[in-house]
């Protein structure tokens, strides 16, 4: 038979490729993680995340104004807590004058329309570097959920638009949702880290916040990376408990789950391209082994193709600059 169908006709030049392109990247896809520290005039580079910084509140102002001007309208806040304020109860996590609470207010004052999401988990506040309260070497579930709910309420009171529980305790979404409703924060949203795996890709992030577990690992609460179906179970439970947005984390090595989740849920799906993914590309590019910008765009597009509506990424600014 004569060749009638030729796929290459749709690849002949840039114009036709643009015309038939299935996915695009825009600034609106991104959620920008920001690391906040105490002090004044602090902008310190994270050793294992070249080109990424921790900011003190005064410099955070410039940073979020810059993001807003670039069309980046959503941030995800993390704080680095001084050792002296860490304990096993998350006392500092619910301090109305804590760094997170001040960071929320700072961002809202500098850029009132910026969507502010906050990390909810105890690890940066924990003397053990764990996401919950530790008893006899075990991370206790229900007691932790209570603190997480108080922490989420405290963020809402400070002005957070969304809270983002990243701890993987059972029932934390319900605990948070119930308390927010009860306290009349009906419009404060929850972005749940619903399928969050126990991953070695979080290494650089734990450097950034000095939050590495002091003993053991996180495998009794974060998911086993050998499991696929379990991601659906976790995600559907979180939606039932009141999650407005669900997330798969990490990103690139977990694209199958982004697609699985996207296919079964009716809420927006986020993916987190985590610190180790950022570090890998930066390191390879530094050595001249990979084309940084080309690989970055390819990875971001992979998240879109897999079905993510929202991409939390340390590359957000780099990507938007490149898009022009
Ligand atoms: C804390 C938290 C972690 C990340 C986001 N929130 C680390 C962890 O669970 O150990 C990882 C983000 C990244 O690696 O970029 N609960």
The percentage of the chain sitting over the pLDDT mark of 70, rounded to a whole number, equals 100
Q: What CA–CA distance (Å, rounded) separates 324 from 305? A: 22
pLDDT at 1: 87
Stretches in the chain below the pLDDT threshold 70? none
93, 163, 166, 221, best to mutate for ligand 1 pocket (most atoms within 8 Å of CB) = 166
State phi, psi for 31 to the nearest 5 degrees.
-120, 125
* Residue 95 within a domain: yes
pLDDT at 317: 98
pLDDT at 227: 98
| Structure tokens that stand for 305 in this block | 């193709």
Q: What CA–CA distance (Å, rounded) separates 39 from 54? A: 11
The boundaries of the domain holding residue 116 are 24-245
What value does the CA radius of gyration of the chain take, rounded to a whole number of Å? 20
pLDDT at 324: 85
CA atoms within 13 A on the CB side of 243: 27
* Residue 12 within a domain: no
Binding residues for Mg(2+): 234
Q: Annotated catalytic, 317?
A: no
| Global ipTM | 0.97
* Residue 318 within a domain: no
* Residue 300 within a domain: no
State phi, psi for 249 to the nearest 5 degrees.
-155, 135
pTM, rounded to two decimals? 0.97
Pocket of ligand 1, beta carbon within 6 A: 119, 121, 123, 131, 166-167, 202, 205-206, 218, 274-275
pLDDT at 95: 98
Domain containing residue 71: CATH number:
3.20.20.70
Task: Give the total number of structural domains in the chain.
Answer: 1
86, 218, 249, 282: which one is catalytic? Answer: 249
* Residue 83 within a domain: yes
* Residue 285 within a domain: no
Q: Annotated catalytic, 233?
A: no
């Amino acid at each position: 038979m004569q060749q009638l169908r030729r796929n290459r006709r749709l690849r002949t030049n840039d114009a036709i490729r643009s015309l038939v392109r299935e996915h695009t990247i825009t600034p609106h896809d991104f959620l920008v993680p920001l690391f906040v520290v105490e002090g004044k005039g602090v902008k310190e580079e994270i050793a294992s995340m070249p080109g990424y910084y921790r900011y003190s509140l005064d410099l955070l102002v410039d940073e979020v104004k810059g993001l807003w001007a670039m069309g980046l309208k959503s941030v995800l806040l993390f704080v680095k807590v001084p050792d002296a304020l860490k304990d096993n109860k998350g006392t500092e996590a619910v301090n109305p004058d804590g760094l997170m609470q001040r960071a929320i207010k700072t961002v809202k004052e500098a850029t009132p329309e910026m969507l502010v999401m906050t990390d909810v988990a105890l690890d940066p506040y924990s003397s053990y570097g764990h996401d919950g309260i530790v008893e006899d070497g075990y991370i206790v579930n229900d007691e932790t959920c209570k603190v997480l709910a108080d922490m989420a309420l405290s963020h809402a009171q400070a002005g957070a638009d969304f809270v983002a529980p990243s701890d993987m305790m059972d029932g934390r979404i319900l605990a948070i949702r119930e308390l927010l409703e009860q306290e009349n924060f009906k419009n404060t949203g929850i972005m749940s880290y619903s399928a969050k795996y126990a991953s070695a890709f979080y290494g650089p992030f734990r450097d950034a916040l000095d939050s590495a577990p002091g003993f053991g690992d996180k495998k009794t609460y974060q998911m086993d990376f050998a499991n696929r179906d379990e991601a659906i179970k976790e995600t559907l439970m979180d939606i039932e408990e009141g999650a407005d947005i669900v997330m798969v984390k990490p990103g690139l090595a977990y694209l199958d789950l982004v697609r699985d989740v996207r296919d079964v849920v009716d809420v927006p799906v986020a993916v987190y391209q985590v610190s180790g993914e950022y570090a890998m590309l930066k390191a390879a590019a530094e050595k001249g082994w990979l084309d940084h910008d080309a690989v970055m765009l390819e990875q971001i597009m992979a998240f879109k193709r897999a079905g993510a509506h929202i991409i939390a990424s340390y590359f957000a600014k780099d990507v938007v600059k490149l898009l022009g």
